[in-house]
Amino acid sequence: MNLLFVADPLESFKIYKDTTFAMMREAQARGHQISACEPKDIMWQRGACVTAAVRNITLTGDPVHWFSAAQHQPGDRCQVLKYFDAVVMRKDPPFDSEFFYATHLLEQAEREGARVFNKPRALRDHPEKLAILEWPQFIGPTLVTREAQDIRRFHAEHQDIILKPLDGMGGTGIFRVRQDGLNLGAIIETLNQDGAQTVMVQKFLPAISEGDKRILVIGGQPVPYCLARIPQGGEVRGNLAVGGKGVAQPLSARDRAIAEAIGSVLAERGLLLMGLDVIGDSLTEINVTSPTCFQEIAEQTGFDVAAMFVTALEAAVAQPR
């Protein structure tokens, strides 16, 4: 296959842990050709198809100079997206206006015949914080609102709460307010911007001490191991980006039940890969833009997550359009 990865700049990859790199490495090992571009490189003009200024790359095996490219600059070669066997959208959050526009360009490419994973419409339809609302049976007490009074009432009821912005990533902007309500007003003002921004509020789950579990689902099937991201040094957040410790462990019966129920539905909607975040027995987020943790799970368990993904990608491309 000829694969195009739409991602962040290749020069920014930390290949010792990067999931997109793991996908590329497995794809190349199977003989597939790899190209890469950034969302900013995608273009459409009337009378023509969606194109992208791409780099055709080869992985070198060198940990520093980890790829070589046939082009010195991405603009040296424009290619039509529909001529790739698959376009893999792996741009990291935030899901801002530019990400949104990129999904529309990729959807136009789909109309022209491109195969895009995850499906652009599915990326738009499943915002990572709000997608859990479809499965209330799996989540803990949760509130979504702009109103400060709603948040105060929720705190009065549950005493110990977590507040987070809907567009955050990597644990940014997350606050915990305990029973004493210390700084609740200031936190509300910071997050909801005097009612201009919607906030998610959830009851604090003590099971976070055992880790915020990232459960990967590929082609509707859960990876048999999750990565429990355990907070360190008094932190309430387990995200690896803020210093959480990642510990791979087998899925519990509850983890698997959540993953199978949600995965079967979302795979049908065009989400080949998703990452479910579960604390204790409660689902907290559904990550669809660029789920990670392939390498951490593989290194600790020996289970090759990238191989499972590329196998699923090959099967998806082989399906009739």
Catalytic residue among 25, 90, 164, 203: 164
Answer whether 95's CB lies under 8 Å from 128's CB: yes
Q: Is 164 a catalytic residue?
A: yes
Which of the 8 DSSP states describes residue 252? P
Q: Is 62 a catalytic residue?
A: no
Catalytic residue among 115, 119, 213, 214: 214
Cα 57 versus chain centre, distance: 24
Answer whether 42's CB lies under 8 Å from 102's CB: yes
Q: Using alpha carbons, list the distances in angstroms from residue 302 to 63, 259, 275, 305, 306.
A: 21, 21, 19, 9, 11
Catalytic residue among 25, 119, 203, 229: 229
Catalytic residue among 115, 129, 203, 213: 129
Among candidate residues 297, 123, 309, the one with its CA nearest the CA of residue 225: 297
Distance, CA of 117 to CA of 104 (rounded, Å): 14
Q: Is 237 a catalytic residue?
A: yes
Catalytic residue among 90, 91, 119, 237: 237
Q: Strand, helix or coil at 151?
A: helix
Strands (E), 90-242: 116-117, 142-145, 161-165, 175-177, 199-203, 212-218, 221-222, 225-230
Catalytic residue among 110, 128, 255, 277: 277
Catalytic residue among 110, 212, 255, 285: 285
Q: Is 203 a catalytic residue?
A: no
Catalytic (active-site) positions: 129, 164, 214, 229, 237, 277, 285, 287
